[in-house]
Chains A and B, each alone.
Chain A
Amino acid sequence: MCSASRRNILELDGVDYAYGKRDRFIRGLSFSVGEGDFVGLLGANGSGKSTIMKLASGLLRPSAGSVRLWGRDLAAVGHRDRAKLISYLPQTLDINVPFTVGELVGMGLYPYDIPPAMTVAEALEMTGLTDKADARLTDLSGGERRRTFIAMTLLQGAGLLMLDEPLANLDIKYQIELVRLLRKLRLERNISVVMALHDINMALQFEKVMLVKEGNLIGEGSPENVLSRSMLKQAFDVDVEVRRSGNEGVYISLQDHF
């Protein structure tokens, strides 16, 4: 891994968290994200991917341990300043408000008094929504809606994007385009991305993955190392074969199950 020389922009250290009065769900969680990292957070339903992302972006407050952004204690960063460093895009977008696409994307500028370099038009163009600028959110398809929120998040211009299942209900075309777009932005604008994922095949295309089970990280590193047959069995409780072929890249085979 080449991130050894990069500085860490997100550091979680010994984080505990419990929902309500129940038992601790997350115990002693520690991990870091380096500048320019592109990380897939992989795990079964209910494994704690969302909880980890919310803890990292401050939406949930850990009962023990620390979260640091660019070396600063997250709890000590003001709300607007934080919004310029990290943005969290929730998984569910069941929003029935007839904001227009342009209005909604424009909300990405709310943390700023002086708008940053990117404009609403650019954000719309990047996500292929230019001709939908005046459409109402309520008239969009699930995929268009998802891209609208991605455009808002991009416009917000934070250095670290925490995207909770951003590929859900996107057509494969837009899944590929979104991942390519984010990779391109990582290079152009030096942003880092942490993305919760369901799709193991997609995760295999990432440089770095983190595998989550019951609130704990059970593996971290390159997909080749982490997404082994035994690890996947442990995380997803299913036996799948990981195949590598020179021409077709890496993929998991479901052949044995049908």
Chain B
Amino acid sequence: MSRAKIAALILIPLLIVLASLFLGPRSINPLALDGVEREILLNIRLPRVLVAFLMGAALGASGAVLQGVLRNPLADPYILGISSGASLTAALGIIGGLTFLGAFTVPVLAFIGALATGSIVGVMGWKRGGLWPERLLLAGVGLSFLFSALLMLMMSISTDEGLRRAMLWIFGDLSLSEWKRVPYGLGFVLAGIVLSATRAKALNALILGDEFAYSLGFAPHRERFILFVSVGLMTAASVSLGGMIGFIGLLMPHIMRFFIGSDSRMLIPASALGGGALLCIADLISRSLLPPMELPAGVITAIIGAPYFLYLLRRKDVLSI
């Protein structure tokens, strides 16, 4: 890793964060703020950009971890069914009009749904004293189907208005970002990133296989469990902050492998920075394309992400963990 790459990894996301803070359909000049502009900058854009960055960072990092844990280049944090579980409980709150925790009702419901799903997948993936990648993957895919079906069922019996709101949430909605959400988002996402980054050596070894990991002095099942928990926390926090954002978890680790290689010690933080930056850009675009209407940021990440992903697919070596 050259110094230039490290500098680029920090500077480019920083510039993107600043751009999404000050640019948009109407740019804000930080040197000439009137009262309204100041309020918009401090109470609307700043928390929104922070939440976007946290969500993207959580997805990028958990994608990098999960592709390694499952030894599968096509894994993304949503493959474990965590997001469909969160969507189901969130939609329940939105369509059912639950408000028992005020503005926190839907995020808390989503978080509970995500953690519950993660736990079910963990229990299903557990056999003979540990988690097994194939079992986790299949349990996650199976649960995803079940929860998606239940979600469809709920949507087909809901009113058109409730349906639309649920759809907006599921496609990722950053307009709900406010300061109240930042501390808990920061707490869980940072905890997940730190937890997984401290296990990065074990992750590298697990990527080689359980026998190598064991020989290098790790307990494969214990390490895999810790990494799985960190992915669960980050994904749950991300989904609960603003719904489902496609492609970052799948795509960002691959882009970063292309630039900095496969060593998880660099890949996890780099995917977090890259994921945060990508979602900030996507949100900037979603605000700017048809103002004053806002498009779902999750749709934009997929529209930017999918073609780039297909382009990478044409290149050798990149589509591996």
Interface residues of A (CB under 8 A from B): 54, 57-59, 79-84, 87-90, 95-100, 103-104, 107-108, 110-111, 136, 138-139, 153, 156
A98 B257 Cβ-Cβ under 8 A:
yes
B205 touches A110 (CB 8 A): yes
Chain A residues whose C-beta falls within 8 Å of the C-beta of B261 in the assembled complex: 98-100, 103
Q: A97-B262, A97-B320, A103-B263 are in contact. Are A90 and B209 (CB under 8 A)?
A: yes
Stretch from B57-65, B214-222, B272-280 that touches the partner:
B214-222
Q: Chain B's nearest CB lies how many Å from the CB of A17?
A: 15
Please give the number of chain B residues whose Cβ is less than 8 angstroms from any Cβ of chain A in the complex.
21
Could you say which residues of chain A place their CB within 8 Å of the CB of B216? 83, 87, 107-108, 110-111, 156
Query: In the complex, what residue of chain B is closest to A134 when comparing beta carbons?
Result: B261
Closest to B207 in A: A97
Contact of B205 among A57, A81, A87, A107 (CB under 8 A): A107
**Does the CB pair A58–B204 fall under 8 Å?**
no
B261 CB, nearest partner CB in chain A, Å: 7
Of B215, B218, B219, B262, the contact of A89 (CB 8 Å cutoff):
B215
16 CB contacts below 8 A, A to B, read A57-B215, A59-B214, A87-B216, A88-B211, A88-B214, A90-B209, A95-B209, A97-B208, A97-B320, A103-B204, A103-B263, A110-B204, A110-B205, A110-B217, A111-B217, A156-B216
B positions within 8 Å CB-CB of A: 201, 204-205, 207-209, 211-212, 214-219, 257, 261-263, 317, 320-321
**A79 near B212 (CB under 8 angstroms)?**
no
Q: How far is the CA of A82 from the CA of B217 in the complex (A)?
A: 7
List of A residues within 8 angstroms of B219 by Cβ: 79
CA distance A96 to B208 in the complex (A): 9
Contacts of A100 in B (CB 8 A): 261
**A196 vs chain B, min Cβ distance (A):** 14
Name the A residues within 8 Å of B218 (CB-CB).
Answer: 79, 110
A80: B residues at CB distance < 8 A: 217
17 more contacts with CB within 8 A, not counting A107-B208, A139-B317, are A59-B214, A59-B215, A79-B218, A83-B217, A89-B215, A90-B211, A90-B212, A90-B215, A95-B208, A99-B263, A103-B204, A107-B205, A108-B216, A110-B216, A111-B217, A136-B317, A138-B317
CB distance from A212 to the nearest CB of B (A): 20
Nearest residue in A to B222 (C-beta to C-beta)?
A79
B209: shortest Cβ distance to chain A, in Å? Answer: 7
C-alpha spacing A200/B137, complex, angstroms:
43
A-B CB proximity, top 10 nearest: A83-B217, A111-B217, A80-B217, A90-B211, A88-B215, A110-B216, A79-B217, A87-B215, A110-B201, A98-B317
Task: Write out the residue numbers on chain A whose beta carbons fall within 8 Å of the beta carbon of B212.
Answer: 90
Set B204, B209, B211: member contacting A107, Cβ < 8 A: B204
CA distance A75 to B214 in the complex (A): 13
Partner of A99, one of B215, B217, B262: B262
> Which of chain B's residues has its CB closest to A83's CB?
B217
The verdict on A59 contacting B211 (CB below 8 Å), with A98-B320, A107-B204 known, is yes
Could you say which residues of chain A place their CB within 8 Å of the CB of B215? Answer: 57, 59, 83, 87-90, 153, 156
Tell me which residues across on chain B come within 8 A of A81, comparing CB atoms.
Answer: 217
CA distance A88 to B217 in the complex (A): 11
In Å, the complex CA distance between A205 and B208 comes to 32
Residues in A with CB closer than 8 Å to B208 are 95, 97, 104, 107
Contact of B321 among A54, A97, A107, A139 (CB under 8 A): A97
A57–B212 Cα gap in the complex (Å)?
A: 12
Q: Which residues of A contact B204 (CB under 8 A)?
A: 99, 103, 107, 110
Separation of A99 and B212 alpha carbons in the complex (Å): 14
Using Cβ atoms and an 8 Å threshold, which residues of chain B touch A96?
A: 320-321
A99 to B207 alpha-carbon distance, docked (Å): 10
Q: How far is the CB of A184 from chain B (nearest CB, A)?
A: 22
A153 nearest CB across to chain B (Å) = 8
Chain B residues whose C-beta falls within 8 Å of the C-beta of A79 in the assembled complex: 214, 217-219
